[in-house]
Amino acid sequence: MDDTTFAVLGTGGIGRRTLDVARHKDGLTPVAACDRNGVAIDHQGLDVDELLDATEGNIASGPDEASGDTPATPTSDYASDGGAAAAEGATAGGGVKQAGEGAGIVASEQGEPTDAPIDDVIAESDAIDAVLLALPNLEHDFIPRIAERFADASYEGVLVDVLKRSRVIGMLDDREEALVESGITFVCGAGATPGFLTGAAALAAQSFVEVEEVKIWWGVGLKSGYEDNRGTVREDIAHLDGYDVETAREMSEGEIEALVDEHDGVLEFRDMEHADDVLLERAGICDAEDVTVGGVLDVRSDEKPTTTTVRVTGRTFDGERGTNAFELDDATSMEANVNGPALGYLKAAVLRNRAGDYGVYGPAEIMPSF
Ligand SMILES: NC(=O)c1ccc[n+]([C@@H]2O[C@H](COP(=O)([O-])OP(=O)(O)OC[C@H]3O[C@@H](n4cnc5c(N)ncnc54)[C@H](O)[C@@H]3O)[C@@H](O)[C@H]2O)c1
């Protein structure tokens, strides 16, 4: 495969690791990255070492009145900051400011401050083969609206997101005509779950002619990465009983810490609204209602609190009933399991895009078909 130029929107916990992991994949050149305050663009290739050093413990995840994109609907883009309200003025790792002017990418020699980071990347998108969206999605239509903006600019290339919630997929489908017209191949939900584990379920289903049940159970230990993964933790809280995206978005950092304390740092989730269900249904593998997703997040230990597994139960053509299981090693981190697959799906999508295959795909569709 020829060299692929790519951009990362959002350089928080996930986006920073995307740049890091991409160095270990063949033929990927990062040419643009942005966060809520700034943008870095170099068509010859960004200096990833310098960018990662400058943003270590300094990811601009908190809100900043002057920041964000030039929003079509200001409240939505503001809300999509990961909502880390009380991170304003907070310091992390070596006392580097996390919010306000000077936070995030603008601390890099390659970064420029901007009021419209995403538009700045779109303006350069003629020379960008693929874009990975590592943005928070506390506003359901945030990522679909960004896809629309790329289509409005007649972008021809790949978009990949790592979103989690089922209902976003329908919003992308609603925009599919515009995406196809523009020449966009969009792979949605291409992180770990959904993403890697959805793809694993699609593969595990190949033994069967009828799938009865898919059970996804994940474990994440985040002690060392908690500061750098606040967006992810906040979005996960929205899946707890008694919480939703609105309440999670409004919580102050202190309230989040109190909630984490109440649970001794360990949050357990059952029946999460994760898009694995609709993504498996759209690939024809099973009904969405036959998929359950849950897991355990420990923000006080790097050890995974439980082993991540995918179990697919079904019937074979010759009348047997069985369960195929896929298990991740406890030594593999959440970041490794989101970014390896996200970049893998990105590369697969570039091949499709170059073949003229446009539209919205889920991770289970870029696998053997059912
Ligand atoms: N599918 C999976 O398995 C999986 C796993 C982990 C995280 N995620 C998702 O990844 C996403 C990112 O999580 P994170 O922990 O990296 O979040 P984060 O809060 O650490 O980082 C978010 C980044 O987006 C930037 N940003 C926010 N609003 C912006 C805007 N309007 N314009 C430009 N940049 C903006 C911030 O400055 C920051 O750099 C979340 O939606 C999370 O749910 C998915």
Ligand 1 neighbourhood includes 18 CB (under 6 angstroms): no
Mean of the per-residue pLDDT values for the chain? 88
Radius of gyration of the chain (CA): 20
ipTM comes to 0.98
> Which domains can be identified in the chain, with CATH numbers?
4-193+336-365 (3.40.50.720), 201-330 (3.30.360)
pLDDT at position 58 is 74
Q: What distance in angstroms lies between residue 133's CA and the mean position of ligand 1's atoms?
A: 8
Gap between the terminal Cα atoms of the chain = 27
pLDDT at position 78 is 32
What is the maximum alpha-carbon separation in the chain? 64
Q: What distance in angstroms lies between residue 229's CA and the mean position of ligand 1's atoms?
A: 8
pLDDT at position 100 is 56
Quick: pLDDT tens for 308-364: 999 999 999 999 999 999 999 999 999 999 999 999 999 999 999 999 999 999 999
Helix 334-354 / helix 196-204 crossing angle, nearest 10 deg: 70
Ligand 1 neighbourhood includes 118 CB (under 6 angstroms): yes
Task: Specify the DSSP class assigned to residue 195.
Answer: B
Residue minimizing CA distance to atom 33 of ligand 1: 36
Are the C-beta atoms of 31 and 45 separated by less than 8 Å?
yes
Are the C-beta atoms of 87 and 254 separated by less than 8 Å?
no
- Quick one: what percent of the chain has pLDDT higher than 70? 88
Residue of 97, 139, 164, 281 marked catalytic: 164
pLDDT at position 225 is 75
Ligand 1 neighbourhood includes 231 CB (under 6 angstroms): yes
pLDDT at position 102 is 73
Count CB atoms within 10 A of the CB of residue 29.
Answer: 16
Q: Which atom of ligand 1 is nearest to the CA of 82?
A: 19
Annotated active-site residue 43? The verdict is no
Quick: pLDDT tens for 311-321: 999 999 999 99
pLDDT at position 1 is 53
Query: From start to end of 222-344, where are the E strands?
Result: 266-269, 291-298, 309-315, 321-327
Can you tell me the mean pLDDT for 89-96?
Answer: 38
Q: What distance in angstroms lies between residue 43's CA and the mean position of ligand 1's atoms?
A: 24
